[in-house]
Structure 1
Amino acid sequence: MSYTIIQKTGTHVWIKISNLFTVQDLLGLQGSLEADLQRSSHIRILIELENFEGWSHDSGWESTSFLPESDNKTSRIALVGDEKWKDEFFMFIGYPLTPIDVAYFPTTQLREAAVWLSKN
Structure 2
Amino acid sequence: MSVGTHEVKVKTWADGKVVELNVHGKLTEKDCEEFIPVIDAGVELHGQVRLLFNCEGFEGWTMGGMLEDIKFGLHHYNAIFRLAIVGDKKWEKAMATAVRPFTKADVNYYDITELELARAWLREGT
Residue 62 (structure 1) shift: 7.3
Percent sequence identity over aligned pairs? 26
* Cross-structure match for 1:114: 119
Residue 87 in structure 1 maps to residue 102 in structure 2: no
Q: Per the alignment, do residues 63 and 88 of structure 1 end up closer, same or farther by CA in structure 2, a change over 3 Å counting? A: closer
Q: Per the alignment, do residues 108 and 66 of structure 1 end up closer, same or farther by CA in structure 2, a change over 3 Å counting? A: farther
The letter of the residue matching 2:94 is: D
Q: CA RMSD in A?
A: 2.6
Residue 71 (structure 1) shift: 5.4
Q: Which has the higher helix share?
A: 2
Which deviations, in whole Å up to 9, do the C-alpha atoms of 1:65-89 show, x marking residues without a partner? 3445255232001111113222235
Structure 2 residue ranges without an equivalent (≥5): 1-5
Which deviations, in whole Å up to 9, do the C-alpha atoms of 1:82-105 show, x marking residues without a partner? 1322223543xx314421101010
Instruction: Supply the distance in 1 between the matched residues of 2:69 and 2:111 (Cα, whole angstroms).
Output: 30
Structure 1 residue ranges without an equivalent (≥5): none
Tell me the TM-score normalised to structure 2 length. Answer: 0.75
SS in 1 for 2:100: coil
Tell me the TM-score normalised to structure 1 length. Answer: 0.78
Which deviations, in whole Å up to 9, do the C-alpha atoms of 1:43-67 show, x marking residues without a partner? 1111212211111134871783344
Alignment length, in residue pairs?
118
